[in-house]
Copies of this chain bind each other. A is one copy, B any other.
């Protein structure tokens, strides 16, 4: 099978770099178009990221040679699509919300599907917020989205915020087994890479904790309701539960968001052992389809008292697994546990790529 040519918008930023690195040697997709700010436009990608490349992993040699386009000029991607260099784009744009809304719209209107990492479109009612293991069926709002907008090939699909990814799959696995959650109190300890680059100043985080991340608690509390929502009348209607209260903290960790979760079930309550069994045996569509970026086991449970730990567990299963531990009864609610996911892989570029694989399978990227 010839690889599908893809583009990356915002390719020189931190999430963009992650996309470029993770797509290196991808079996289905090949980066053949990159766009970024006007400052980088006109340079070869290798030049544009010289001295700004943040990762230990590198980019494919052929990507280094691609001329960076101005992401604001949709006609460049359209031309690339015409010459079969850009079937769709991954959006890692870093701009104001209004600009991203307008620009992602323009790409989709031009016939270029947009798989986005940006938060701008997460609350657009007909845009699915996808986690492959939880709500792949939300992709099926795409025909309605296209129809409403008058688009033929283009569409927009996004992924949720990185802060919720460690516990959403565990919650979903429980709900699916008949144990939906009613109320959650969540405290996160989030890695600095979540703020991008340059992001968190070192003076703010060495020997320190910052008990606040702007906008993060609202995202953490609300996005799950859309992900657990249902499609009706051409929009995604939010679930009513669970009610979530979040406290989001920044800690001196490079990668890997950890969450301490207290959970009250809506109805009947499983035993601790039953939950472990539900989690470790959980498999979903990405696993059934054996998608290239899907983790083999979406939820890994560690029995050791002192796990999961970001440095030791974030990279499990290509950094795409959720790692849970410390499951025990809660004195106040029903259960409590700790969960971890890699924020720049599972929670950003890796999650976006998995979404693209899913959308390809479902025929939306044909």
A interface residues, Cβ below 8 angstroms from B = 50-51, 54-56, 183-185, 187, 189, 192-193, 197-212, 214, 221, 243-245, 247, 249, 251-254, 258, 260, 262, 304-313, 315-316, 325-326, 330-333, 336, 338
Would A309 and B197 count as touching, CB distance under 8 A?
A: no
- With contacts A56-B313, A245-B330, A336-B245 taken as known, whether A203 is within 8 angstroms of B198 at the C-beta atoms is yes
Asked whether, in the complex, the Cβ of A211 is within 8 Å of the Cβ of B307, the reply is yes
Q: Judging by beta carbons under 8 Å apart, are B254 and A315 in contact?
A: no
B209 lies within 8 A of A258 (CB): yes
A258: which B residues are within 8 A, CB to CB? 209, 211, 249
Known contacts A206-B192, A252-B251, A253-B206; A50 and B304 CB within 8 A of each other = yes
Nearest chain B residue, comparing its CB with the CB of A214: B305
Interchain nearest-CB distance for A283 vs B (Å):
21
Q: Are A338 and B211 in contact (CB under 8 A)?
A: yes
Is there an interface contact between B332 and A212, defined as CB atoms closer than 8 Å?
Answer: no
Q: Are A305 and B207 in contact (CB under 8 A)?
A: no
Q: How many copies, total?
A: 4
- List residues of chain B with CB within 8 A of the CB of A309: 204, 208-211
CA distance A109 to B199 in the complex (A): 41
Task: Determine the chain B residues whose CB is within 8 A of the CB of A51 once the complex forms.
Answer: 304-306
CB-contact partner of A262 in B185, B198, B212, B331, under 8 A: B185
B207 touches A244 (CB 8 A): no
Contact B211–A254 (Cβ < 8 Å): no
Having A185-B185, A247-B262, A249-B260, one finds 15 other A-B pairs with CB under 8 Å, namely A56-B316, A189-B251, A192-B206, A199-B203, A200-B201, A204-B309, A206-B253, A207-B252, A207-B254, A208-B311, A211-B326, A211-B338, A243-B331, A245-B332, A245-B333
Scoring A199, A201, A304 by chain B CB atoms within 10 A of each residue's CB, the highest score goes to: A201
A94 CB, nearest partner CB in chain B, Å: 15
Of all chain B residues, the one with the shortest Cβ separation from A337 is B247
Q: How far is the CA of A253 from the CA of B206 in the complex (A)?
A: 7
Q: How far is the CB of A87 from chain B (nearest CB, A)?
A: 32
CB-CB < 8 A to A313: which residues of B?
A: 56
Task: State the CA gap A247–B330 with chains docked (Å).
Answer: 10
Interface core residue of A243, A254, A326, A332 (most chain B CB under 10 Å): A332
Asked whether, in the complex, the Cβ of A206 is within 8 Å of the Cβ of B244, the reply is no
**Shortest distance between the CB of A336 and any CB in chain B (Å):** 6
CB distance from A174 to the nearest CB of B (A): 18
Which chain B residues border A205 with CB–CB below 8 Å? 202, 206
Q: Which are the 7 A-B pairs with shortest beta-carbon distances?
A: A187-B187, A198-B201, A245-B331, A208-B311, A247-B260, A245-B332, A212-B306
Residues of chain B lying within 8 A (CB to CB) of residue A251: 189, 209, 251-252
Looking at the assembled complex, report how far the CB atom of A164 sits from the nearest CB atom of chain B, in whole angstroms. 14
Q: Which of chain B's residues have a CB closer than 8 A to the CB of A198?
A: 198, 201, 203
Decide: B333 and A247 in contact? CB cutoff 8 A: no
Q: Which residues of B contact A184 (CB under 8 A)?
A: 332
